[in-house]
Structure 1
Amino acid sequence: MKRATSARLGAALATLTLAAATGTLVSVPAASAATGPATGYASQNGGTTGGAGGQTVRATTGTAIHAALCGRASSSTPLVIEVTGTITHAGTKKVSGSSCDTADGVIELKKISNVTIVGVGSGAVFDQVGIHIREAKNIIIQNVTVRNVKKSGSPTSNGGDAIGMESNVRNVWVDHTTLEASGGESEGYDGLFDMKNNTQYVTLSYSVLRNSGRGGLVGSSESDRSNGFITYHHNRYENIDSRAPLLRGGIAHMYNNHYVRLNESGINSRAGARARVDNNYFEDSKDVLGTFYTDEAGYWQVGGNVFDNVTWSQPGSENHPAGPDPVSNTTVSIPYSHRLDAAGCVPAVVNRTAGANKGLQVSDGSC
């Protein structure tokens, strides 16, 4: 099933060739960048609508994205930013204004609300430029690729996180994205999708996370337990060493994800976290669920998952794998409606739909 926006996005792009070529910021009809409804926990707490109903602009540089934020009447005026082309570190500069708080070398969504950033046309790639969400709410990021964001080496951006959220963040929906690195911490990279310091009501859906030492975390330390209500669905985690994700406190729901080559550990529920893990497909991986690298226990409710060539380590003082036969040790009630695909169908469904530039396709319930 394709979302009805694809044709309108393409039509809008065709009329703005000059603007795209020059990297300027221009207005386009608001309808051209509409998105479907948010899913998972992002649909709760009043919902996540991003910039729906506001002005739509087009940007081809990080600086133009910042200019769009700074050009609003206020920091909460709804805004849709359509992005096309490759966003570079050098082309991402600080812009000042009363409705923004931006910085060089990073897409800074700080102290703002009601914003959508959506890739259009042949794609939007944030190359070595991370997206930082801080003290913000009601944000949608859709149909973009974020790659090779470094915390060491050159250039550095966003502490090495592809997408990072911190400090009183609420209601973020990240959908149909591709988040990737080219190694782990020793190569200069950190997490692909991190949340900390009171970040809540977030959904990551139909996305690809790959080739990274760290998939992502919820909570920066064992004492940072103010985060939660996170949904991960129809994502593909591929060639990830650990943190798929790491949960410290809070509640998370993982359903219909495809995990391939989790090399050291996968869903690491610890420090009182509770994870509901439904109808996922785990393949060619190690220690895909449990409490790892700590003696502070986390918990899980499991059902309908497939474990295909998954190996499990022996329990130890700081190593508590859920397998080889995972059973539930808590219950987690989910407040939103959702349809579960059969776990056996998940690899085919996710391969067809997840990631940027897939036409915003979603599961139709069949293999």
Structure 2
Amino acid sequence: MNGPVRRLLAAGAIAALAATAVPGAADAHGRHDLGRQTLAANDGWAAYDGGTTGGADADRDHVYTVDTWAELKAAVQGDEPKIVKVEGDIDAWTDAEGNALTCEDWNDPGYTWEQYLAAYDPEVWGWNAPSGPVEEARVRSYNAYREHVLLRIGANTTIVGSGRASVTHGAFFIGNVDNVIVRNLGVHNAYDCFPAWEGDAWDGEFDNFEVSGATHVWLDHLTVTDGTTHDYEAPVIWGKRVEHLDGGIDIVRASDLVTVSWNHIRNHDKTMLIGNTDSDRYAEDDKLRVTIHHNWFENAGQRAPRLRWGQNHVYNNYYTYREASGYPYHYSIGAGRHSQIYAENNAWDLEGLPPAVALYNWGGDAMHIEGSLFNGRRVDLLAAWNEANPDAPMADTVTELPVLHGKVHATRLVPVLVPLWAGAGKLR
């Protein structure tokens, strides 16, 4: 049997496996309805302590189909069980009648971008954080904009996309609530129209997803991107590049029991921050427990994830990078203060880069990582990091081991399985 035929048969076998390999969903009512599906009983930390059901128990009066931003914002309110089905491509930069908006539509009368640059140019203002009337007007503009683009999701909610549905310019906020599912949806370009100059750098505020103080959250089969915005192309002003984008999926402020599965996170810099400060303010015991599996991180510059304080099970993820994307690559998995990362059977395909770049020590002292495939070869990534960074070594021992998880696939299957199934539009 020649080589090409053998490879085709192998690919076909893997594809057949993929057709039955996607874990996670249990149909709560015996029907093939994405809105009624709940997280499987073993699928990561979100399955722990009662599981994650979202709005599966919603009555008929709390099942909504939406195709505008105004409808979506209204549908996700409240804590009663509800299912929200998103159709088509929704743009948050639209008014209640669906008319297109631009950043300037939220400008306070005392603010324009040009006024801001003139007022706080360091040649005029010095290297200080802005204050005074123009900064106050920027804050008012920002607050009005935030109120419009922030999607505040209530407890016991399931949001599902129909086909390849998507949301652009909206920022999904899952804050201080329990039991939320978001699946099968593209979420793009959570753009900050009003970035702040902090005296030494620009700061953009919005994440595609922010999970803040929330519990039992399942984010599954999402496509998360910068859309048409690329921060690396933004102008450099006062020696620093302007930032309009922040996190892709950030899980912060003692959030807990989260599963992030089968997502395609593409062309983004600050990808997934778990634990947002080194301060022990959010360092309660048994918090920030997150399972991250079968995600495709494509041209993800950093934080995939970066963890502080919590416990992460990171398995069967696929990391790819091409220099032609324009996005700078920094690292993939970062261990921060008091972090417990258990990483297994992940694969990297990083064009022209050495194995040591896959990890980073942000003040963590340990990371368990096994079964890694790097540019087609089995590599001990922790040993590669320690050899390249003798002043910041990490041990191989962690005290907290994974509690719940689905099938951990052989690493050689990851580069085929994950691109086949990760992202929006793959569920029916």
Q: TM-score category by the smaller chain?
A: 0.7 to 0.9
Aligned to 2:209: 163
Give the distance between the partners of 1:88 and 1:106, measured in 2 at CA. Answer: 12
Alignment-mate amino acid for residue 341 of structure 2? A
1:152 Cα deviation from its structure 2 partner: 4.4
Give 3-state SS (helix, strand or coil) of 1:140's partner.
strand
Residues 145/125 of structure 1: CA separation in 2 closer, same or farther (3 Å cut): same
Determine which structure has the larger strand proportion and give its number. Answer: 1
Counterparts of 1:180-259 in structure 2, within 5 Å, are 180-181=225-226, 182-184=229-231, 186=241, 187-223=243-279, 224-226=282-284, 227-259=287-319
Spell out, residue by residue over 1:238-297, the C-alpha distance to the aligned partner (whole angstroms, 9 max, x if none): 1122111110111000000001128111110110101000111022156212314xxx22
Query: What is residue 131 of structure 1 aligned with on the other side?
Result: 172
Aligned to 1:33: 35
| 8 Å contact from structure 2 (residues 35, 55) kept in 1 | no
Kept in 1, the 8 Å contact 2:290–2:313? The answer is: yes
Q: Deviations over 1:145-198 (max 9, x none)?
A: 1111123459xxx922110111x2101000000011143474521110101111
Equivalent position of 1:49 in the other structure: 53
Runs of 4+ off more than 6 Å: none
Q: Which residue of 2 aligns with 1:67?
A: 74
2:157 counterpart of 1:115: yes
Matched, 1:357 2:417: no
Cross-structure match for 1:279? 345
Query: Using the alignment, how far apart are the partners of 1:346 and 1:304 within structure 2?
Result: 11
Show the counterpart of 1:15: none
Q: For residues 195 and 288 of structure 1, do their structure 2 counterparts lie closer, same or farther at Cα, with a shift above 3 Å needed?
A: same
Task: Specify the alignment match of 2:372 in structure 1.
Answer: 305
Q: Kindly provide the amino acid, as one letter, of the partner of residue 320 in structure 2.
A: V
Q: Please report how far the alpha carbon of residue 66 of structure 1 lies from its aligned counterpart in structure 2 after TM superposition.
A: 2.3
Relative distance call for 1:222 and 1:34 in structure 2 (3 A) is: same
Paired-residue identity, %: 26
Q: Which has the larger radius of gyration?
A: 2
The CA deviation string for residues 66-86 of structure 1, in whole angstroms up to 9 with x for no partner, is 22234xxxx321100000112
CA–CA separation in structure 2 for the residues paired with 1:270 and 1:307: 23
Change (3 A) 1:184 1:225: farther
Deviates more, 1:128-137 or 1:262-271: 262-271
Q: Which residue of 1 aligns with 2:136?
A: none
Residue 48 of structure 1: SS of its match in structure 2? Answer: coil
Answer yes or no: is the 8 Å Cα contact 1:175–1:206 preserved in 2: yes
Instruction: Call closer, same or farther: CA 1:219–1:188 in 2, change over 3 Å.
Output: same
Is residue 390 of structure 2 the alignment partner of residue 345 of structure 1? no
Aligned to 1:291: 361
Question: Any stretches of 5+ residues in structure 1 without a counterpart?
Answer: 9-28, 94-101, 361-367
* Matches of 1:229 and 1:92, distance apart in 2: 38
Question: In 2, Cα distance between the equivalents of 1:330 and 1:300?
Answer: 6
Post-superposition offset of 1:91: 3.3
- Residues 195-204 or 144-153, more deviating: 144-153
User: Higher helix fraction: Structure 1 or Structure 2?
Assistant: 2
Query: 2: CA distance between counterparts of 1:232 and 1:127?
Result: 24
Preserved CA contact (<8 Å) 1:274 1:298 = no
1:330 aligns with 2:390: no
For the 8 Å contact 1:62–1:107, the answer to whether it is kept is no
Partner of 2:235: none
Contact 1:247 1:273 in 2 (8 A): yes
Aligned partner of residue 278 in structure 2, secondary structure: coil
Taking a change above 3 Å as real, the CA distance of residues 144 and 298 of structure 1, as seen in their structure-2 partners, is farther
Higher relative CO (Cα under 8 Å, sequence separation at least 6) belongs to: 2
Contact 2:306 2:333 in 1 (8 A): yes
1:152, 1:189 within 8 Å by CA — same for their partners in 2? Answer: no
- Name the CA distance, whole Å, in 1 between partners of 2:32 and 2:347: 39
> Are the counterparts in 1 of residues 216 and 258 from structure 2 also a CA contact under 8 Å?
yes
Q: CA deviation at 1:31?
A: 5.0
Query: How far apart in 2 are the matches of 1:198 and 1:178?
Result: 25
Q: Which runs of 5+ in 2 are unaligned?
A: 1-18, 97-145, 196-203, 233-240, 322-327
Is the Cα–Cα contact under 8 Å of residues 192 and 216 in structure 1 kept in the other structure?
Answer: yes
State the one-letter code of the partner of 2:54.
G
Q: Does the alignment pair 1:106 with 2:150?
A: yes
